[in-house]
Amino acid sequence: MKRTLSTLVILVALGALVCAQGGTKPAVPAGGNSMGPNGLTVPPQTPAPAVAWMDIAKTPPMGWNSWNKFGCNVSDTLIREIADALVTSGMKNAGYQYVVIDDCWQVSRDAQGRIVPDPQRFPNGMKALADYVHAKGLKFGLYSDAGARTCEGRPGSNGYEAVDAQQYAAWGVDYLKYDWCSSDGVDPKIAYATMRNALGATGRPILFSMCEWGRNKPWEWARGVAHIWRSTGDISDRWPSFTRLLDLQVDLWKFSGPGGWNDPDMLEVGNGGMTIAEYRAHFTMWAMLAAPLIAGNDVRTMTPEIRAMLTHKEVVAIDQDPLGKQARLIRKDGDYEVWARRLQGGDWAIALLNRGRDAHEIGVAWLELGMGATAAPKVRDVWAGSDLGAITGLFAATVPSHDVVLVRITP
């Protein structure tokens, strides 16, 4: 307590460290653009798409993906049951709309080069499955790879971009996750732009999720190529994995925004490897980062506690805030971190994150947000669901180990 408050006093005295969000953004090409961000020419899309390309991801996408929980154990039955559960659990109402089958749905190519879904696991074919998902009011996604093979050794799309994109559009695919295995000798800027163009040429709005693991700094060039770009390697269902990925996001805030988002990987919430407090921290920080919220748990059997977390209206609203500002780490005192993001209408979301082994008091001074020393904004504890009233000077709370306190501030 003493240490945090004395830190705050020093900060107040210095009157420094003002978190003025909104640095320079890379130019945003308009939908239906003719020149890609890398100088690659994008052929005009005919017919004109019903949705402008950049508008496909005005806010970070939300949905569910099979990989984190099910790996290669995917099937028609599983996907239908997941779609049902997304509706009955309230996940769909909370905003989770894409149902994405990750690796292992595909087995080979036919004589015409068309990709063949596993006939045992998907006996009804992909069109029928997409129709089922669509009938639930949800959207349908698939996975492929920019190299010759996917990470699980299935056929990739290298050299088959146009035929695959046409096939996806014919099946009714709304989302493509595009991986980076077997990519030796492949230029990522060309490979991802090629698939982006092939998808664009179908005329169907398809969200393009680039999974290049941050190897070639995609945040510097992927806006306009993909709607989301992985900024890290794979997440695993453990606290050190979450914190490692979080650390990699610190300097990337300036690259995220409406139309294109950093992607620190999918959610592990509910998969069993972390405590409820740790999942709360993971989910909160992904919302603070304006990360895609792609659930990766078994939504058919999740506990009420996990369901309440994933569907928490106010936390999801922070993730989906239309201003699209990724949070910045405004102060780090060892294991104790303060993250802040500006929201539309002048509010702020502040996360006090305790990465240490013991409970600790963490605070934030309004001066750190650029407010005057006498400011008395209204403070709401989001997870507690309680309004704390107008508070002058600073807000401090005792944060349990591996947990977070999330407040929304209205100046």
Gap between the Cα atoms of 254 and 269, Å rounded: 26
Closest separation in Å from C-beta 102 to ligand GLA = 5
User: For residue 254, with 0-12 CB atoms within 10 Å meaning exposed, 13-18 middle and 19 or more buried, which class applies?
Assistant: middle
Q: Judged by CB, which is closer to ligand GLA: 191, or 369?
A: 191
Only one residue has tokens 């020393």, namely 373
268 binds ligand GLA (CB under 6 A): no
Minimum distance, C-beta of residue 331 to ligand GLA, in the bound complex (Å): 32
Amino acid making up residue 339 = W
For residues 142 and 339, give the distance between their C-alpha atoms in angstroms, rounded to a whole number.
Answer: 34
Binding mask 231-250 for ligand GLA (x = CB under 6 A): ---x----------------
| Catalytic pick among 103, 145, 179, 347 | 179
Q: Shortest gap between Cβ of 210 and ligand GLA (angstroms)?
A: 11
Q: Output the smallest distance, CB 180 to ligand GLA, in A.
A: 7
Name the minimum Å distance from CB 267 to ligand GLA: 12
If one asks whether residue 67 binds ligand GLA (CB under 6 A), the answer comes out as yes
Q: Which is nearer to ligand GLA, 150 or 326 (CB)?
A: 150
Least Cβ distance, residue 157 to ligand GLA (angstroms): 14
Q: Which of 36, 53, 76, 102 binds ligand GLA (CB under 6 A)?
A: 102
CB closer to ligand GLA out of 202 and 232: 232
CA-to-CA distance for 253 and 17, rounded, in angstroms? Answer: 16
One residue of 133, 151, 382, 396 binding ligand GLA per CB under 6 A: 151
Does 152 sit near ligand GLA (CB under 6 A)?
yes
The residue from 84, 118, 234, 335 that is catalytic is 234
- Rounding to the nearest 10 degrees, give the CA dihedral for residues 285, 290, 292, 298: 30
Task: Give the span between the Cα atoms of 354 and 246, in whole angstroms.
Answer: 13
Spatial distance between the Cα atoms of 70 and 295, rounded to a whole number of angstroms = 12
How far is Cα 309 from Cα 404, in angstroms, rounded to an integer? 13
- Among 45, 76, 99, 103, which residue sits at the site for ligand GLA (rule: CB under 6 A)? 103
Could you check whether the bond before residue 47 is cis, i.e. omega within 30 degrees of 0? yes
Q: State which of positions 176-235 bind ligand GLA (CB under 6 A).
A: 179, 211, 234
Binding of ligand GLA at residue 365 (CB under 6 A)? Answer: no
Q: Does 64 help bind ligand GLA (rule: CB under 6 A)? A: no
Q: What are phi and psi of 398, to 5 degrees?
A: -85, 120
Intra-chain end-to-end CA distance of the chain, in Å: 25
Closer Cβ to ligand GLA, 67 or 229, answer by number: 67
Closest approach of Cβ 67 to ligand GLA, in Å? 5
Give me the residue label for tokens 């709304």. 174
234 is catalytic: yes
Structure tokens at 18: 């003002």
Cβ–Cβ under 8 Å, residues 367 and 409: no
How many residues bind ligand GLA (CB under 6 A)? The answer is 9
> Could you write out the DSSP letters of every residue in 75-109?
-HHHHHHHHHHHHHTTHHHHT--EEE--TTSEEEE
Contacts with ligand GLA by CB under 6 A lie at: 67, 102-103, 150-152, 179, 211, 234
By annotation, the residues acting in catalysis are 179, 234
